[in-house]
Amino acid sequence: MVKPDGVQRGLVGEVISRFEAKGLKFVAAKLELLPEERVVEQYREHLEKPFFPGLKRYIMSGPCFLMVWEGKGAVAVVRTMIGATNPAEAAPGSIRGDFGLDIGRNVVHASDSPRSADREIGIHFTPTELVEYSKIDEPVLYE
């Protein structure tokens, strides 16, 4: 998900380009102002954290661009590509490392395990929004 700061800064295309170039398969996407219930559900592990009220205001401050991507090891690959939570410490070459400065404005979200990916996809997408198709580069992308 590109967070509201990333959307406002015009980074949606950059984020999509990186995942496409990596070889991941684009399965779903939409631009949305997230309702409070879905923000709370997505970040339920952080409800009691001191930063949660600010996090909720940030995520609801403008539209988010939500995506589903598939591919071999996609969850771990995407976590590596987005970089550490704090952009000031994220590796150069990662999305947060290249485009952020502040932990409270870190440009993107990504699920941290296949289980949380399933859970978060269920919060934000209906089954009919997930597009099933085969991609012609698969025979050259995978051994």
Residue 60 tokens, joined: 């609801």
Classified as helix, coil or strand, 3 is: coil
85 binds ligand IDP (CB under 6 A): yes
Beta-bridge mates of residue 109 = none
> Distance between CA atoms of 17 and 48, rounded to whole angstroms?
35
Among residues 13 and 54, whose Cβ is nearest to Mg ion?
54
Q: Using CB under 5 A as the criterion, what x/- string covers residues 105-134 for binding Mg ion?
A: -------x----------------------
Distances (CA, A) of 136 to 17, 25, 27, 140: 18, 10, 14, 9
- The residues, any chain, with a CB within 8 Å of residue 137's CB and separated by 6 or more, are 23
Q: Using CB under 6 A as the criterion, what x/- string covers residues 28-57 for binding ligand IDP?
A: ------------------x----x---x--
Catalytic residue (one of 38, 56, 109, 119): 109
Among ligand IDP, Mg ion, none, the one that 113 touches (CB under a kind-dependent 5 to 8 A) is none
Asked if residue 83 lies in contact with residue 96, where contact means CB atoms within 8 angstroms, the answer is yes
106 binds ligand IDP (CB under 6 A): yes
* Residues with catalytic roles: 109
Q: Which residues bind ligand IDP (CB under 6 A)?
A: 46, 51, 55, 85, 103-104, 106, 109, 112
